[in-house]
Structure 1
Amino acid sequence: MVADIDEASCEDPHDGEVYGRFDLPAGAFPGDGEVVAVVDKWCTERMSSYSPDAWKLYGRARLNFYPPSEEDWARGERGAVCAFAPAEYGDQLTGSLRQDGNALDRHQRTYLDAAGQLNAALARVPLDDVEETLVHHQEWGSYVAGYLGLFAQDLRDHKWEEEAAPLAAELAEAADGVRGEWEKLAMLEDVDEFCDQWAVAEQTVADDVAGTVAALRTQLKLSTPRPVTTEYQYPQSPLLF
């Protein structure tokens, strides 16, 4: 499977950019669903280490990955590949999406590390429809709520410069405030009620958090304005931290 990926120069138009590869544990094939879940988690959690600033990434690319199939597994090929694909289907990438983390100061790094974990949690939205996997969506809502809490705590624990400190405190309080809307998702057993609450949770982030995120990023001299996301990407732009 990995051998089927053709190499190309980053300077030339290309269909994707590989940023990670790993082998799944040996043993019996666990099923397509389990393999996809493991690969999705591994790749999503490593996006920010390759490209720390989601606002620079999401306007250009979306997550893609290549899990081993049952046939690959039978041949002893358990390798999975993580890649970025163009944000729009049919487009191509030009230039590398890798960002130099060494160019960041400690305040920028602190913010992007915390935001990267939260963006990764949001991006792990289950691939199937809510009607098919409500329990997985409930777990995801709780997962996002947990990372909203960690994000708020990371902001509080860091010693910010004088100009950024009030914005960081405001953002931490806002993140804690919207966390409850995501926690509600874990308790809803009705699909329609879940979808309604999901919309509320997203809108609360857009209304109560997004403006402060932009203000703090501006103060930290991180990339602005917000990227323009496509229908194929999640989280959408108003939810990106």
Structure 2
Amino acid sequence: MNTVQGIVRMHMRDKWSWIYLPWVIVLSSFAINLLIAVLMADDEKIVTGGLMSIFIYMLVSGIVAVHHTFPFALGLSVRRKDYFAGTLIMILAVSAASALVLMLLSYIESWTDGWHTDLFFFHLPYVSDGNAPQQFVVFGSLMLFMYLLGFAISSMFRRFGKTGLYAASIIGLLLGTLLVYGSIYWGWWNGIYDFFQGRSAFNLALLLLPLSALLALGGYALLRRSTV
């Protein structure tokens, strides 16, 4: 347990990457959009997708965190199991804290009618339709998924190197292409549309949780067999 806590503390030393930088990115995007909304000064409602910047950053952060810290941890004779547990705790904590802040900003934006400028950056249609706990789950689940996707990608690189990562990317692209063609040829689009139509963002966020668990287990399995 002490080793796991040590891994968490190791990650916490890089507060800039884990905590500060994602908010610098998303708040910079928000400030630009707010300035545009103020300058426009009309009654038109502005809905922007700038919030996605923080989720994209989480994907990149999940990749970079393993790349930077895994060899260092192994150099200190840390077990892969302990490294995985400590990193997962850090990912869960950052995802939960970030989701809480996003939820609060969403409510503030709603209460102030888009910061009195009709700008909706955090409070988005469909995404923010649920109550406070549901919004927390939506933000947290997506953030966790992006972190663990990055973690799994970086773990694959650690296990198979560049060749394996390139091969997995090509296979994924081919499977995606076949899926699109299959959907067109056999008319699967109606079924896919029906699947998503009746589900809220909260329902879809719940469906992401088992996928996140699979990514975590897959990443751990890859790290267990990696060299450095």
Larger radius of gyration: 2
In the superposition, the TM-score normalised over structure 1's length comes to 0.32
In the superposition, the TM-score normalised over structure 2's length comes to 0.33
The structure richer in strand per residue is 1
